[in-house]
Amino acid sequence: MSFMDILALIIPAAIVSAAPLIFTALGGVFSERSGVVNIGLEGLMLFGAFTGAVTIYYGEQFGLNGAAPWVSFVVAMIVGALFASIHAVASISLKADQVVSGVAINFLAAGLAIFLTKKIFNAGQTPVISERISKSNIPYLSDIPVIGKLFFTNAYLTSYLAVFVALIVWYVLYKTPFGLRLRSVGEHPMAADTMGINVKKMRYIGVLLSGALAGLGGAVYVASISGNFTHSTITGQGFMALAAMIFGKWHPLGALGAALFFGLAQAISISGAQIPGLQDIPKVFLLIAPYVLTILALAGLVGRADAPKALGTPYEKGKR
């Protein structure tokens, strides 16, 4: 097996497993940049996966065919935002502990999704969908020598959408007045308030966007990877996205890079047995790599990662 064959095996797989992580991690960037910790990403992603699976299934019944997954993405984003609004109300308006509220979101999403699955389908999982996002070659780009084969052949459209959305998020956060306001609320809410920025409103927008993107991440996972929703569809991807966001230093493009890197680790842990040289590395090292690296990054051993200053503290007007 030549080196190119190995890359051709791993890189598309890495990009596929990275896409849901990218969306969810970008959601995390919005929420945490506005100053609200979002441990609930896992639950939001899980509920997005459930919503996606159900919508695609019924979309197929109604004859939406190939459009079903795309409809499900929109529905999952709306449902995700609604679900995140619980976290927003609790942690912004009611000044609950944001971590506790996030933990509750995870419990609630897991319980409710399986409860509804059992209620609707009378089974522990949703039916397997037939309209998945299918692999395709990107026209023209796939003809580029070397790069075309690695990056643009046999790839899912959603993966490119993920990269594109990351660029948009970067533009919005760093090149628009809205982005400046959102970040300022997360760094120094009192100063932002003095400048006439509505702190609560910005934080609500941040959390709702995080719900929408995490929901999208879950739905993309169902449409491109798992094909249905069970209790074990989303087990830790949300937390891995959280890790990617931190490893990416709360920056959209950093999160993108980290999610791609974690996707690569996952891809190697799955297909590593076929690759000479990697067969001998125990799989466990690849499985734990994302988490170990995140801890090292936080400890400052792999570049210092600093959280937004006001992260985790509810804002109270007039409080010193």
Partner 1 sequence: MPNKSNKMKFLVPLISVFLGLLIGGIIMLISGYQPVEAYVALFQGIFGGSYYFGETIRQMSPLILSGLAVAFAFRTGLFNIGVEGQLLVGWLAAVYVGIFVDAPAIIHIPLAVLAAGVAGALWGSVPGILKARFKVHEVITTIMMNYIALYTTNEIIRNYMLAPGERTENIKESASLASPFLQSITEYSTLHFGIIVALIAAVIMWFLLWRTTLGYELRAVGFNQHASQYAGINVSKNIVLSMAISGAFAGIAGSMEGLGTYQYMTINAGFTGVGFDGIAVALLGANSAIGVILGAALFGGLKIGALNMQSIAGVPTELIGVVIALIIFFVACSYLVHWLMNRVNRGGKI
Q: Give me the least distance between CB of 290 and partner 1, in Å please.
A: 8
Q: How far is the CB of 169 from partner 1 (least distance, A)?
A: 21
Decide: residue 91, CB within 10 A, 0-12 exposed, 13-18 middle, 19+ buried: buried
Check: CB of residue 67 under 8 Å from CB of residue 233.
no
Q: Which helix (H) or strand (E) holds 31?
A: helix 3-33
Q: Which of 24, 101 has the CB closer to partner 1?
A: 101
Nearer to partner 1, 65 or 235 (CB): 235
Query: What CA–CA distance (Å, rounded) separates 185 from 46?
Result: 28
Q: State the residue for tokens 């920025």.
A: 197
Nearer to partner 1 by Cβ, of 300 and 303: the residue is 300
Cβ of residue 74: shortest distance to partner 1, in angstroms?
Answer: 24
- Residue 298 C-beta: closest distance to partner 1, Å: 4
Residue from 290, 259, 205, 186 nearest 26 by CA: 259
Smallest distance from partner 1 to CB 268, Å? 14
Which residues, 6 or more positions from 126, have their beta carbon under 8 angstroms from its beta carbon?
A: 50, 53, 54, 57, 117, 120, 228, 229, 230
- Contact predicate 208/35, CB 8 Å: no
In terms of CB distance, is 162 or 305 closer to partner 1? 305
Q: Which residues are at the interface with partner 1 (CB under 8 A)?
A: 37, 39, 86, 90, 94-97, 99-101, 103-108, 110-112, 114-116, 118-119, 232, 235-236, 239-240, 242-243, 246, 282-284, 287-288, 291-292, 294-295, 298-300, 307
Q: Quote the least distance from Cβ 266 to partner 1, whole Å.
A: 12
CB-wise, 167 or 287, nearer to partner 1? 287
Interatomic CA distance for residues 13 and 36, integer angstroms: 33
C-alpha separations of 153 from 146, 171, 265, 302 in Å: 10, 28, 20, 33
Nearer to partner 1, 119 or 145 (CB): 119
